[in-house]
Structure 1
Amino acid sequence: MTDARLTPSNERVAAAYLEGQVDAPRYVEGELLQCTCAAADILGKPGGRRTSQLLFGDLFNVLEVHKGHAFGQSVYDGYCGYIREDLLGRAEDATHWVSVPATHLYPAPHLKVMTQGALYFGSEVSVIGIEGTWSRLSGGQCVPSVHLQPIGERRKDPVAVADLLLGTPYLWGGSSRYGIDCSGLIQICWRACGRECPRDSDMQEQDIGHPVEMEDIRRGDLVFWDGHVGLMTSDSIMIHANAHHMAVAYEPLEDAIQRIDEAGDGPVTSIKRPE
């Protein structure tokens, strides 16, 4: 059985590489576009609930546009769904990425002018010029250069990245400083370190690392429940985006295990050590 989250096919169209694997009225190569807003919701269906997000600069292979929504597949993690057509635009080659939790967009390289929005950690941008301590982006806005890193320079420690996002509000399907869920936090930490990472916690449990025993747990390990994941910051404390705190928060692992079990969400299903 195919996983709809990773299968670019609906009742009208499918990706060309799926011909012979899924039935569809037509098969297309698609058009590569990018997210042009701070964060764009990926929906399970037009008008449906958020299942994930694209950040500014993220690439999305559009297979069709139908009634104001583009159906396609995220290039980074293969996640499929629907995005409002007006939130996508021409793809550009990124030169830098936002390496702080958030940065403001300024119409000019001056800190006292009124801002024109924001970009979140992990967003990829195209810098076309340097003006003093400011970087001018291809869209014309400026951001502080200290908030950017070259696209090829990545972080080394996912736990340190998670620490940056402490206090971020919980948001189902969220992937940014504006709001994030448990697996979104893990994905953005891995991506900031130049590592591949699937979107949802069940995928992460299957694909990341190798199992370890509870008595051997250490900083950097991932702890999984059915539908939830946390990242160990030591041998006893984890950081996770969770609906109990409604935020990215630290929590003693023993407390989380007891609380989650008492809430009826079951025991730890595995502990994985990234390789």
Structure 2
Amino acid sequence: MTDRRRTPVNDRIAAAHLKDAPAGLDLVEGTAARIGVPVADLLRAPDGARDRQLVYGEPVTVYEDRNGWSFLQAAKDSYVGYVPGTALTAPFEATHWVSAPATHCYSADDFKSPETQALSHGSRVQALGGTGRFLETNLGFIPARHLSPLGAHAADPAAVAELFLGTPYLWGGNSRFGIDCSGLVQAALLACGMPCPGDSGMQEAELGEAAASKDYQRGDLLFWKGHVALVRDARTLIHANAHDMAVAIEPIEAAVERIQAQGDGPVTAHKRLA
């Protein structure tokens, strides 16, 4: 069965590259764009439920613009959905990504100058020049220490996840301003140059290899039905969770017992990444 979350098809159009597109739909090639707001909700339907989020500068392919909504597919994980057309901007050559938990764009190369907007971890910008402590970008001036060149990756997914400690829990969230369990894992892995799908079920099915029970190593993934966490060490994990309503560190065994006691079942998989 085709997964609607990663198949660019709706009631009117289908991506031209699909080999089994339903008959009667217009086949379209799609056009390149980037997210042009700090955070955009990726919705299941216009004005519908949020599935995921996209942050500034993420590349997308737009397959339809209709009634103020853009039907698109995200480059990072092939997730499909709708965003307001006003959330998009023309393609630009991104050179850097926000590797700090979050940052501000300033109107001048001075931390006392007015800030123009905030950006989450993972946002992509185009550097226009350097001014020492700041890089001038297409959005203004950003502290240089908050940016990394595209292609420069972090080395430890668990350390990236720790950057999000205290971030509010948000169902379907993918930013420092609000994130859920699979969003945290995806942010951690993508920052390390590791492909990662958007939802915990996909992550359980597609990431890593099964590890020995309770042989916990930093960077392992623990899965429950509808939930995922990153192992920090032999005793603790880090996850975005609705119990704390935040990204938090928790003893592994306490988390396992609590999650089962609240009715969400036992650990369904323990995976180790290459």
TM-score normalised per structure 2: 0.98
Q: Secondary structure at the match of 1:97?
A: strand
Q: Could you say which residue in structure 1 is the equivalent of 2:96?
A: 96
Q: Could you say which residue in structure 2 is the equivalent of 1:2?
A: 2
Q: Secondary structure at the match of 2:112?
A: coil
**Structure 2 CA distance, aligned partners of 1:24 and 1:203?**
30
Q: Could you say which residue in structure 1 is the equivalent of 2:161?
A: 162
**AA matched with 1:156:** A
Q: Could you say which residue in structure 1 is the equivalent of 2:193?
A: 194
2:23 matched to 1:23? yes
Q: Is the 8 A contact 2:14 2:21 kept in 1?
A: no
Give the superposition deviation at 1:155.
Answer: 0.4
Q: Could you say which residue in structure 2 is the equivalent of 1:135?
A: 135
**Structure 2 CA distance, aligned partners of 1:104 and 1:186?**
24
User: Superposed, which structure 2 residues align to 1:78-89 within 5 Å?
Assistant: 78-89=78-89
Q: Could you say which residue in structure 2 is the equivalent of 1:213?
A: 212
Question: Which shows bigger deviation, 20-29 or 174-183?
Answer: 20-29
Q: Deviations over 1:26-84 (max 9, x none)?
A: 01010110001111110011111211111111011000011111001001100000011
**Structure 1 CA distance, aligned partners of 2:170 and 2:210?**
28
Give the superposition deviation at 1:18.
Answer: 1.4
Long gaps (5+) in structure 2? none
**AA matched with 1:183:** S
Question: Which shows bigger deviation, 70-79 or 108-117?
Answer: 108-117
Q: Could you say which residue in structure 2 is the equivalent of 1:126?
A: 126
**Structure 2 CA distance, aligned partners of 1:241 and 1:194?**
21
TM-score normalised per structure 1: 0.97
Q: Could you say which residue in structure 1 is the equivalent of 2:59?
A: 59
User: Superposed, which structure 2 residues align to 1:255-266 within 5 Å?
Assistant: 255-266=254-265
**AA matched with 2:254:** D
Counting aligned pairs with the same residue, the percent is 47
Q: Deviations over 1:165-186 (max 9, x none)?
A: 1111000111110000000000
Give the superposition deviation at 1:134.
Answer: 1.1
Q: Secondary structure at the match of 1:195?
A: coil
Q: Deviations over 1:217-255 (max 9, x none)?
A: 222110000100000001121000000000000011111
**AA matched with 1:158:** P
Give the superposition deviation at 1:19.
Answer: 4.5
Q: Secondary structure at the match of 1:159?
A: helix
Question: Which shows bigger deviation, 209-218 or 153-162?
Answer: 209-218
User: Superposed, which structure 2 residues align to 1:168-247 within 5 Å?
Assistant: 168-247=167-246
Q: Secondary structure at the match of 1:117?
A: strand
Q: Is the 8 A contact 1:63 1:70 kept in 2?
A: yes
**AA matched with 2:208:** G
Give the superposition deviation at 1:132.
Answer: 2.9
Task: Give the RMSD, CA atoms, in angstroms.
Answer: 1.0
Q: Could you say which residue in structure 2 is the equivalent of 1:272?
A: 271
Q: Deviations over 1:9-28 (max 9, x none)?
A: 00011100114343352010
**Structure 2 CA distance, aligned partners of 1:257 and 1:138?**
45
Q: Is the 8 A contact 1:52 1:174 kept in 2?
A: yes
Q: Could you say which residue in structure 1 is the equivalent of 2:12?
A: 12
Q: Is the 8 A contact 1:220 1:231 kept in 2?
A: yes
Query: Per the alignment, do residues 257 and 91 of structure 1 end up closer, same or farther by CA in structure 2, a change over 3 Å counting?
Result: same
Q: Could you say which residue in structure 1 is the equivalent of 2:149?
A: 150
Question: Which shows bigger deviation, 23-32 or 52-61?
Answer: 23-32
Query: Per the alignment, do residues 74 and 24 of structure 1 end up closer, same or farther by CA in structure 2, a change over 3 Å counting?
Result: farther
Q: Is the 8 A contact 1:10 1:24 kept in 2?
A: no
Long gaps (5+) in structure 1? none
Q: Could you say which residue in structure 1 is the equivalent of 2:75?
A: 75
Q: Is the 8 A contact 1:240 1:249 kept in 2?
A: yes
Q: Is the 8 A contact 2:204 2:269 kept in 1?
A: yes
**AA matched with 1:207:** E
